[in-house]
A and B are shown apart, each in its own frame.
Chain A
Amino acid sequence: EVQLVESGGGLVQPGGSLRLSCAASGFTFSSYWMHWVRQAPGKGLVWVSRINSDGSSTSYADSVKGRFTISRDNAKNTLYLQMNSLRAEDTAVYYCASPGDWDYFDYWGQGTLVTVSS
Chain B
Amino acid sequence: DIVMTQSPDSLAVSLGERATINCKSSQSVLYSSNNKNYLAWYQQKPGQPPKLLIYWASTRESGVPDRFSGSGSGTDFTLTISSLQAEDVAVYYCQQYYSTLVTFGPGTKVDIK
Contacts and interface: CB of A to CB of B under 8 A. Distances in A.
Interface string B27-59: 000000000001010101000111110010000
A101 B54 CA distance: 13
A47 B96 CA distance: 11
Contacts of B104: 44-47
Nearest to B49: A108
A66 B93 CA distance: 28
B72 interface: no
Nearest to B100: A59
B55 A47 contact: no
B22 interface: no
A110 B61 contact: no
Contacts of A95: 49-50
B100 A45 contact: no
B105 A44 contact: yes
The SS class assigned to the B binding surface is loop
Interface string B90-102: 0001010100111
Contacts of B48: 110
Contacts of B107: 44-45
A46 B95 CA distance: 10
A100 B61 CA distance: 10
A109 B49 contact: yes
Interface in A30-89: 44-47, 59, 61
Given A44-B93, A44-B105, A59-B100, A105 B50 contact: yes
B103 interface: yes
B105 A47 contact: no
Interface of A: 44-47, 59, 61, 95, 100, 102-106, 108-111
Interface of B: 38, 40, 42, 44, 48-52, 55, 61, 93, 95, 97, 100-107
14 contacts: A44-B93, A44-B104, A45-B42, A45-B44, A45-B50, A45-B95, A47-B103, A61-B101, A95-B49, A100-B52, A102-B38, A102-B97, A108-B49, A111-B49
